[in-house]
Amino acid sequence: MAKQNVAEPETLGEAMNKTELFFEKNGRMMSYIFLGLLVVAALIFGYRSLIVLPRAEKAAEMIAEAQNRFDAQTPDFELALHGDANGAGFLDVVEKYGSTPSGNLAKHYAGICYLRTGDLENAAKYLAKFSPVKGIPGALINAQNYGLQGDIAVEQQNYAQAVKFYEKAVKAADNNMTAPMYLRKAGLAEQALGNNEKAAACYERILTSYPASMEARDAEKLLGSVK
């Protein structure tokens, strides 16, 4: 394959520090809205309330403890992951209530904690355990989950796999804030593969479908690098 003059794919650190800023600022709000909707849904199915709802409520209490550590001004990701005598960690929620909505969400956050501590293998493992959920807050979490799996694939130089995850992230939450972010990443991964035409298609889609997005500012420059 001829050497390509391509944009440097974002490293995992850059991806977490820059393009995931939306989730950094809004993660707690999204999680609480999501969990609140799940509790309401559980209440609708009253015939299951004697078994399902108590477990869901206990799981929600446990994940809130881990979430507080995760969202602290100075986050302690090891503590949020493993917990201690003063509160549960995400892994505790997964182990005890993995089949509940909160247990499912804990798998996602466990993956992020492993990611932040540099354990890519376990990060990929737990992110993959998360089951996509319905609703607007859920769609954003679904997109983040796919996007983070894409970031791991980029770090492992598996750019073809990264493209697949980024495409899933775009489809999961097709909005002006997150979709262009993942389209940009997909374009960078395509460039790393030498697929300049496919990379150009990603950048052109940003310009045509999300012209008001922050990524649109860079799309023309990136487009020029592949033509």
Q: Residue 12: what pLDDT?
A: 42
Q: Residue 23: what pLDDT?
A: 53
Rounded to whole angstroms, the Cα distance separating 208 from 149 reads 26
Q: Residue 7: what pLDDT?
A: 45
206 SS3 class: helix
Tell me the backbone φ, ψ of residue 86, rounded to 5 degrees: -95, -10
Rounded to whole angstroms, the Cα distance separating 6 from 4 reads 6
**Residue 73 CA to its chain's centroid (Å):** 20
State the chain's mean pLDDT as an integer: 83
Encoded tokens for 206: 């940003």
pLDDT tens readout for residues 95-138:
999 999 999 999 999 999 999 999 999 999 999 999 998 887 78
Dihedral of CA atoms 64, 66, 72, 76 in degrees, nearest 10, equals 180
91 or 36: which carries more pLDDT confidence? 91
Q: Residue 203: what pLDDT?
A: 95
Range of lowest pLDDT (11-15, 176-180, 187-191, 210-214) = 11-15
Mean pLDDT for the stretch of residues 58-86: 92
Rounded to whole angstroms, the Cα distance separating 121 from 111 reads 9
Q: Residue 83: what pLDDT?
A: 96
Q: Do 123 and 77 form a contact (C-beta atoms < 8 A)?
A: no
Cross-strand partners of 84: 87
Consecutive H or E run containing 189 = helix 179-192
Asked if residue 4 has pLDDT above 50, the reply is: no
Q: Which of 73, 130, 76 is nearest to 107 (CA)?
A: 130
Rounded to whole angstroms, the Cα distance separating 227 from 52 reads 56
